[in-house]
Structure 1
Amino acid sequence: MNSDPLHPDPARDASPAASHGASDAPRVAVQGEAHLEVDPEIARLGITVAARGRDRRSALDDLTRRNADVLDLVRSYGDAVERLETGALSITPELTRHGRGERVRTYHGAVHLTAELNDFTALGELTTRLADLDLTQVDGPWWALRPDSPAHRRARQQAVREAVQRAREYAEALDTTLASLVDIADLGADGPAPFPAPGGRTRSLAGYGAPAPDDEPAPLDLEPQRQHVYARLNARFTMHSPVL
């Protein structure tokens, strides 16, 4: 028997908590999931402005004029437009054979723009007015949520609550209760990429701001596409030892 106070016997002095610590507690691992369906917050339009000319300079001048007209039109919607960006610009010669050689027949120009709107009433009118412009192509709208949308937080919190509920149900099946949380592993809460929504029916609407002139087409009635937000996580808990 070791009676030296400076070298106590570890086997004799070990407490029950040390010999039966938290690492020996039974564990339960569960997955929490959440799926929310919410209204979109923004809509994006892809706009391609084209121009052509017999020479490079005339094509560029035509493209500059048309691009300015589109920018002025989009900016006229004020706060309804959250973002307006210019993408790629190109001037491309169209060649034609003449005798034994090739000659430039004409030049084609194009500039790509992206507009992001938060007012869906303005969206229908702007889409129609853009599509009515010569040599202007409109793609979209693509509906989406902002990266910091509260919907993402709600989905993550709901996934955590579901994981806790599942773990409790497993513990209850063993006539015991949860003791502590071990860890949570976030598997991501991103929803699927937004898809273009089908075009709505056309009907007459009041203009955005001032009434639309009589010679302008009636605004499109665009129905926002609901967004799906997902969250998934793994969680592990310890349980109080059940009596089996």
Structure 2
Amino acid sequence: MAGTPETPLVTVRGEATHEVDPETATLTITVSARGKDRRTALEDLTRRNNTVLELTKSYGEAVEKLESGGFSITPELTAHGRGERIRAHHGRVRITAVLNDFTALGELTTRLADLELTRVDGPWWSLRPTSPAHGEARRQAVTEAVTRAREYAAALGSDLSALLELADQGIENAHPAAAMPPGAYTRQSFGGAAEDTAAPALDLEPQRQTVYAQVTARFTMTPPKL
């Protein structure tokens, strides 16, 4: 629909930036093992993997999701005369844990990083797709669009008369958050005596999430008083 002198149109954009606390934190845990033969490596990897899973599950409802990902067993070759031979086998499995209790997160992160041959990456803070923060940002964007259109109309001595179109331009986290570099909390070793005391829990400060929404709205106005 095109505007006319009797029913002029005004098209505006409404934007909103909404900052909220994160709802979840994701850790990526990489468990490694090494053995002189494939079976030994597999048995060691299975034991270490079970230790990580049991430790993580012990936090109950604080762990929202626990998934196992990539798995590999790789031979380590070494030169031997004119050829090569297998010196050892290396095993690796990746686990992803999503937590919603950030007090438990600090303690679990420390305990996981204190395990031998275990690498911890994260946390990555985020909001759930169903977070109320998304709806709040959309409402603020619509309110901004209506306010802006009314201001334009008032500047012409007009009033808004009808809404013709409201288009959602998308909603997203303006600042995807990785709170720390990968591998920030890592311990990797091939043995040694266990420590007598546990490492203190990390004090992790959740990173605020910025949600951004944008809409485009078209209104008809009463004839302006020029």
TM-score (norm 2): 0.90
d(CA) in 2 for partners of 1:22 and 1:109? Answer: 67
CA-CA distance at 1:170 after TM superposition: 0.3
In the other structure, the counterpart of 2:93 is 111
CA-CA distance at 1:242 after TM superposition: 1.3
Would you say 1:75 and 2:57 are equivalent positions? yes
CA-CA distance at 1:193 after TM superposition: 5.5
d(CA) in 2 for partners of 1:120 and 1:47? Answer: 17
The one-letter amino acid of 1:175's match is G
Q: 1:93 aligns with which of 75, 78, 90?
A: 75
d(CA) in 1 for partners of 2:114 and 2:10? Answer: 61
- Gaps (5+ residues) in structure 1? 1-20, 200-212
Kindly indicate which of the two structures has a greater share of residues assigned to strand: 2
State the superposition RMSD in angstroms.
1.7
CA offsets 1:5-56 (integer angstroms, 9 cap, x no match):
xxxxxxxxxxxxxxxx996310000000000111000000000000010111
The one-letter amino acid of 2:30's match is T
d(CA) in 1 for partners of 2:196 and 2:99? Answer: 25
In the other structure, the counterpart of 2:127 is 145
d(CA) in 2 for partners of 1:192 and 1:91? Answer: 39
Change (3 A) 1:106 1:193: farther
The one-letter amino acid of 1:34's match is A
d(CA) in 1 for partners of 2:45 and 2:17? Answer: 46
Question: RCO higher in 1 or 2 (8 Å CA, sep ≥ 6)?
Answer: 2
In the other structure, the counterpart of 1:186 is 168
CA-CA distance at 1:214 after TM superposition: 6.7
SS of the aligned residue for 2:173 comes to: coil
In the other structure, the counterpart of 2:23 is 41
- Gaps (5+ residues) in structure 2? 182-194
d(CA) in 2 for partners of 1:35 and 1:224? Answer: 19
Would you say 1:131 and 2:127 are equivalent positions? no
d(CA) in 1 for partners of 2:154 and 2:34? Answer: 74
CA-CA distance at 1:185 after TM superposition: 1.1
Q: 2:157 aligns with which of 165, 175, 180?
A: 175
SS of the aligned residue for 2:45 comes to: helix
Q: How does 1:8-87 map to 2 (within 5 A)?
A: 24=4, 25-87=7-69
The one-letter amino acid of 2:208's match is R
In the other structure, the counterpart of 1:223 is 205
TM-score (norm 1): 0.84
Give 4+ residue runs of structure 1 displaced > 6 Å after superposition: none
How many residues are paired up?
Answer: 211
The one-letter amino acid of 1:28's match is V
